Chain A
Amino acid sequence: MNEGRCIKCGSCLRACPVLNDPSGSPFPGPRTVGVDAPRFLERNSIGQNALRCTMCHACEWACPSGIALTRSMLKLRSEMSGERPPGHNRLLENISSFGRSVRTEFSGWIEDGNRILYFPGCIGLGRSTDLTRSVSSLLSSLGIEHDISSQVLCCGSPLLKIGATEVAEDLRRRNAELFSRYDRVITSCPGCTYQLREVYGIEAEHVIEVLKGLDLRSRLEGRWALQIPCHLKRGLSPWTGEDLAIILENAGVDIVRMPQEDSCCGGGGGLLSGFPETSGSIARHKVEMYRRAEVDGVITACPFCSLNLGREGLRVLDIGEAVTLNK
């Protein structure tokens, strides 16, 4: 942990989407939580408001001292005592009952013994099943025959975000054996991708990485803006973040670039379940920005972004719904 490098420049505060959200969320800020708090004996008393972070890494990217702010804030979450927000308790109940963070709606399981696994993640199997179906059929059309296993549970990332490290580890143990049956694991959620790589040690691929360089086309008309997911650009790789635009441009989609296209949708880090008002406010203001640009919709590559922006009335498509194989 290198939070001892802080020079109090305040760059992280200016980059934080929660601090800058007009709803006036009582988030203490990345510096208080990630840099100052670790020094105190009393840090476990920091209080629930410290959880109002979407884990978007904007603070980390802004920090001139290269402090691993997100990692530090995550570590503090595992040390916090006191009450959880009700939404986080519900998450724990869901995991305990059926092993996923939200109720599963998906039913199109594929358990054919393929060597490739498509792992949609909890949201993709829950509220955003359209996304899952379109990615699955896209993969098939590209000749990537895959399983979608009903046995694989939540990757555990949301549990780390709420500081429930033991539950996350338990999920990992239960999932690891299943993952080992496959040669290749493809995900549509950058959060899952990151978790599988960092915590499970699996070389999981995000859909964007699979689609890159392939010959694709799109039937989409009109002008489309991008929502470049935080965990894609700042979690996996900034080049992968850029590939979203490249793939769409090559497929012939009319893309409108915007300076804030890579800012957080408000859906990550346990904010959506824990503090829905703040999460919604951030999403609303992002949607405002897209509306002012008068685009026909937004294309993204993350089920959380799709969900959170879509709820504010914006037309949001996942990459799997935007492109097809160019025949």
Chain B
Amino acid sequence: MRKDVLIIGGGATGAGIARDLAQRGVECLLLEMGDYCHGASGGNHGLLHSGARYAVKDAVSASECAAENIVLKAIAPFAVEDTGGLFVSLPQDDPDFADLFTASCRSAGVPAEELTPKEALAYEPGLNPLVVRCLAVPDGSIDPFSLVQANVDDARSAGATVLNHCAVSGMTVQDGRVVKVEVRDRRGGIPSSIVPEVVVNAAGAWVADVASMAGCHVPMGLDQGSMLVLDGRQGRHVINRLRRPSNGDIAVPNHTSTILGTTSRPARSPNDVAVSREDVELLIRETSAMIPSLRECRTIRTYGGVRPLLGGGGREASRSFAIMGDDKVDNLLSVAGGKLTTYRLMAEKVTDRVCELLGNSSNCRTHLERLGPSAEEKGGSISLARLRRKYGRAATSIDTADTRVLCSCEQVMRSEVTMVLNNGDALTLADVMRRTRAGMGYCQGFDCSLSVLEVMMDRNDVDPVPSLNEFLRERERGLTQATGDQLRQEILRRHVLRGVYGLEGME
């Protein structure tokens, strides 16, 4: 099949590029080997940066974040919880850093307003009463799954073809060009090779692997970061530590939980996401210094993400991004680096380059066109009130006459699951979970996973056992560190799944 542009990678970057290209009239196909947000887009903090965090060390990143922060709040208001953020310092922190921080924010164009400790505590009652300095910044919380799906939907309505569960398995290079790309797909719908004009390698942590299929070398580092999900929204704002960036600096309220992060260590491969017990202890220790009550909260799950970083990697590497061509291959562009907050800008720059190559002179409109409505909704139930936040525009295609709830932790209705299955991207239980949030709550699918499976079976010929095993295995990854009440939940889960149902492979 011929295509003008083949985009490899369905994270925020790839989806953003597909949207931009399609809006500019370029025919494109995006292939994602797993589900969208398979890599770092699905394994991050969910933080919409104000840019403050980078102001001191990386002014370019900081300015980019500050600008894109405003853009994303305007184009994707449904996906953003505009919580605001605080940077707080404690007695043990370097007292000189705060002034450096403030000055750097100012010169990078990041809005930052100082609050007195008393004001800070009124603004965020759970803060450590020993807070010394406090700066308010426009941080927010963003849902990457909802954001990326909206980009995918928008790209499609502008003419792009976007497919998940399709992996690129090989490339043929001839006369300095990629002439053929082989695809292994789970959908059975498209031919197994593509002939592209331009290939955009937006595969995140897999960029180097994909580039090597074309014989190209992309120098990049892989860095793993651990995150911890606490039950309940602990805090009204994003809370950051006002010190030189270290581990455990951030707590982000997101939907029904609070995400604590993060750590940094070299990753051996894009799949090296493992979280260690030391990471967990560190995250709780450091973040509870800012909000003491975090120590008593229930940890629902841990997860890790592998960040693709330019150059050597590590905390000191630039968070900015780069678009890389290669001497040997004309039509392969690899894009690496960056962060979720600046995905749209990254996509714009890549799209500009691609359009140059294709001779297309249309202007970018992705910062102007809305991805969806804002989230304000008053419903007759929590489920109804949350539809726009989770699905943006697609919320209107949910049958709200049937209000039966399927997942009580996240108040997900059966009709949401039906809508998601109708949409066509969700092939597995995990795919449905990512979109509806069923199974993401404190019981981690204990109550609802079978019910979701039942709805899936009503619609397609799904073999329940492998689907269930895959989903439960993925849940298990985050639960190996279970403690306290989450461990009690885990004990009950094992009683039921092993003790009564006799389902093996749950450990």
Q: Are B231 and A39 in contact (CB under 8 A)?
A: yes
Q: Are B379 and A45 in contact (CB under 8 A)?
A: yes
Q: Are A47 and B379 in contact (CB under 8 A)?
A: yes
- A28/B381 contact (C-beta < 8 A), A4-B298, A39-B231 known: yes
- A8/B81 contact (C-beta < 8 A), A28-B381, A32-B411, A45-B382 known: no
* Per-position binary interface string of chain B over residues 134-173, scored 1 when its CB falls under 8 Å from any chain A CB and 0 otherwise: 0000000000000000000000000000000000000000
How many positions in chain B have a CB within 8 Å of any CB in the partner chain?
Answer: 31
CB distance from A13 to the nearest CB of B (A): 10
A170 at the interface (CB under 8 A from B): no
Interface residues of B (CB under 8 A from A): 81, 231-233, 256-257, 297-298, 377-382, 384-386, 389, 405, 408-409, 411, 441-443, 446-447, 485, 488-489, 492
Q: Which of chain B's residues have a CB closer than 8 A to the CB of A82?
A: 378
A-B residue pairs in contact (CB < 8 Å), sample of 20: A4-B297, A4-B485, A5-B298, A6-B442, A6-B443, A7-B488, A8-B443, A8-B489, A9-B492, A36-B382, A39-B256, A40-B386, A40-B411, A42-B386, A45-B377, A45-B381, A46-B382, A48-B380, A65-B488, A82-B378
- The complex places the Cα of A49 from the Cα of B382 at a distance, in Å, of 11
- A46/B408 contact (C-beta < 8 A), A39-B256, A40-B386 known: no
CB distance from B459 to the nearest CB of A (A): 26
Q: Are B485 and A65 in contact (CB under 8 A)?
A: yes
Select from chain B the residue with minimum beta-carbon distance to A40: B382
Q: Which of B231, B380, B492 is the one whose CB lies under 8 Å from A8?
A: B492
Q: Are A7 and B485 in contact (CB under 8 A)?
A: yes
The 4 A-B pairs at the shortest CB distance, nearest first, are namely A45-B385, A39-B256, A42-B385, A47-B380
Q: Are A4 and B232 in contact (CB under 8 A)?
A: yes
Q: Which of chain B's residues have a CB closer than 8 A to the CB of A38?
A: 232
Select from chain B the residue with minimum beta-carbon distance to A37: B382
- The complex places the Cα of A4 from the Cα of B381 at a distance, in Å, of 21
- A45/B232 contact (C-beta < 8 A), A7-B488, A8-B492, A40-B386 known: no
Q: Which of chain B's residues have a CB closer than 8 A to the CB of A40?
A: 256, 382, 386, 411
A31 at the interface (CB under 8 A from B): yes
Q: Which of chain B's residues have a CB closer than 8 A to the CB of A7?
A: 443, 485, 488-489, 492
Q: Which of chain B's residues have a CB closer than 8 A to the CB of A41?
A: 81, 233
CB distance from B275 to the nearest CB of A (A): 21
CB distance from A255 to the nearest CB of B (A): 40
- A4/B231 contact (C-beta < 8 A), A40-B256, A45-B379, A82-B378 known: yes
A43 at the interface (CB under 8 A from B): yes
- The complex places the Cα of A41 from the Cα of B258 at a distance, in Å, of 12
- The complex places the Cα of A4 from the Cα of B485 at a distance, in Å, of 8
- The complex places the Cα of A60 from the Cα of B385 at a distance, in Å, of 28
CB distance from B294 to the nearest CB of A (A): 12
- A4/B442 contact (C-beta < 8 A), A31-B408, A36-B409, A65-B485 known: yes
Q: Which of chain A's residues have a CB closer than 8 A to the CB of B381?
A: 28, 45-47, 49
- A8/B382 contact (C-beta < 8 A), A36-B411, A39-B232 known: no
